[in-house]
C-alpha cells in the first residue's frame, strides 16, 4: 500500500495518506496524486478531508529519500510541486479539513495550516524538523506566524523540535481535540456542518479569506463588495434566502 486513497461519501471527499509503515511519508508520486485528487473534485463534493492511515501518523511529511541527489534545479522543481499540492488545498472551492492523529510534520503540517479546519487527537504531534535535516522550512511555512505568533513560529522553525497538541491547541492551531478513537467521528461531524451551505457562498467566502490574508484592509473591503454581488448571480441564492426566511432551510 502506498498511493493515497480517495473515496467520496455523503458529499465529502476523503484523501488518506497511505504509507503507515513509513509514517505516511510522502513521495513525489504521492504529492502529484494528492494534487489531482484536490483539483478534480466532483460537482457534488462539498468538503475535502485529509487523514492518515494507521494510528501513528497523519503524515511525517516528505520522505527523506526524496532529497537524495537533488540538484538545485531538481530541488526547485520538487518544492514547486509540493507547493502546488498545498496551494490546491488552500484554494479549493470547498472547505478543507485535516483529521490529525500522531505525527504531523514538515510538509504535512504546512498542508494542515493551509486547510480551513483542523481536528486533532490527543496524541497529535506537530513540528517542522527540516532545519535538523539541513534545509529551511519554506512555502506554506509562511503561514506559521499567523497561526502561532511570531515568537512561537521562530522557536518551532529554528529548533526543529516537536510539540504536542496540548501546547499548540491553546494558541488556536486546531479547532477541536478529541481522543484518538473519536477522531473520524469528530471530522465527519464537522464536515457535515459545512456541506449543506450554498456552494457559491462557500467558494466566495474562501476566496475572501485568501484576499484578507494578502491584501490591505481597503482592498479587502472592495473585494468583499464584489464577491457579495457575484453571489447574487447564482440562481440558488434567492431560493436559499426564501428558505431561510420561511424556516425551511
Full pLDDT tens readout for the chain, 249 residues: 468 999 999 999 999 999 999 999 999 999 999 999 999 999 999 999 999 999 999 999 999 889 999 999 999 999 999 999 999 999 999 999 999 999 999 999 999 999 999 999 999 999 999 999 999 999 999 999 999 999 999 999 999 999 999 999 999 999 999 999 999 999 999 999 999 999 999 999 999 999 999 999 999 999 999 999 999 998 889 888 988 888 876
Q: Tell me the Cα Rg of the chain.
A: 19
CA–CA separation, 37 vs 50, rounded Å?
11
Q: Which residues contact 86 (CB under 8 A, 6 or more apart)?
A: 107, 110, 111, 114, 139, 140
CA–CA separation, 60 vs 127, rounded Å?
9
pLDDT digits (tens, 9 = 90+) for 97-111: 999 999 999 999 999
CA–CA separation, 152 vs 84, rounded Å?
26
Buried-state track 115-127, b at ≥16 Cβ within 10 A, e below 16: bbbbbbbebbbbb
Superfamily of domain 5-195: 2-enoyl-CoA Hydratase; Chain A, domain 1 (3.90.226.10)
**In this structure, what C-alpha cell is assigned to residue 97?**
479539513
Contact, 111 vs 140, CB < 8 A?
yes
Contact, 107 vs 82, CB < 8 A?
yes
Strands 12-17 and 5-9: antiparallel
Nearest to 99 by CA among 182, 169, 2: 182
Question: What is the model's pTM?
Answer: 0.94
Strands 96-100 and 117-121: parallel
- In the chain the first and final C-alpha atoms are separated, in Å, by 43
Measure the CA dihedral 20/123/38/202, to 10°.
Answer: 160
CA–CA separation, 96 vs 116, rounded Å?
5
The alpha helices in the chain, defined as continuous H runs, are: 28-39, 72-90, 107-114, 130-133, 144-148, 150-159, 165-168, 183-195, 199-214, 217-231, 236-246
Amino acid at each position: 500500500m502506498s498511493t493515497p486513497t480517495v473515496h467520496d461519501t455523503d458529499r465529502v471527499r476523503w484523501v488518506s495518506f497511505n504509507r503507515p509503515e513509513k509514517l505516511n511519508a510522502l513521495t513525489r508520486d504521492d504529492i502529484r496524486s494528492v494534487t489531482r485528487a484536490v483539483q478534480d473534485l466532483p460537482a457534488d463534493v462539498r468538503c475535502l478531508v485529509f487523514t492518515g492511515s494507521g494510528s501513528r501518523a497523519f503524515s511525517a511529511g516528505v520522505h527523506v529519500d526524496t532529497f537524495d541527489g537533488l540538484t538545485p534545479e531538481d530541488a526547485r522543481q520538487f518544492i514547486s510541486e509540493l507547493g502546488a499540492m498545498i496551494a490546491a488545498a488552500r484554494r479549493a472551492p470547498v472547505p478543507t479539513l485535516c483529521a490529525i492523529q500522531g505525527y504531523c510534520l514538515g510538509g504535512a503540517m504546512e498542508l494542515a495550516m493551509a486547510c480551513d479546519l483542523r481536528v486533532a487527537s490527543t496524541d497529535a504531534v506537530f513540528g517542522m524538523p527540516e532545519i535538523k535535516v539541513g534545509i529551511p522550512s519554506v512555502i506554506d511555512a509562511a503561514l506559521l506566524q499567523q497561526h502561532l505568533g511570531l515568537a512561537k513560529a521562530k522557536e518551532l522553525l529554528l529548533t526543529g523540535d516537536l510539540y504536542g497538541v496540548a501546547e499548540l491547541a491553546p494558541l488556536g492551531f486546531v479547532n477541536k481535540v478529541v481522543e484518538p478513537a473519536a477522531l473520524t467521528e469528530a471530522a465527519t461531524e464537522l464536515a457535515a456542518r459545512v456541506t449543506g451551505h450554498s456552494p457559491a457562498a462557500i467558494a466566495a467566502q474562501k476566496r475572501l479569506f485568501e484576499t484578507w490574508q494578502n491584501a490591505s484592509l481597503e482592498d479587502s473591503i472592495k473585494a468583499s463588495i464584489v464577491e457579495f454581488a457575484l453571489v447574487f448571480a447564482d440562481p440558488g441564492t434567492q431560493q436559499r434566502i426564501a428558505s431561510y426566511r420561511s424556516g425551511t432551510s
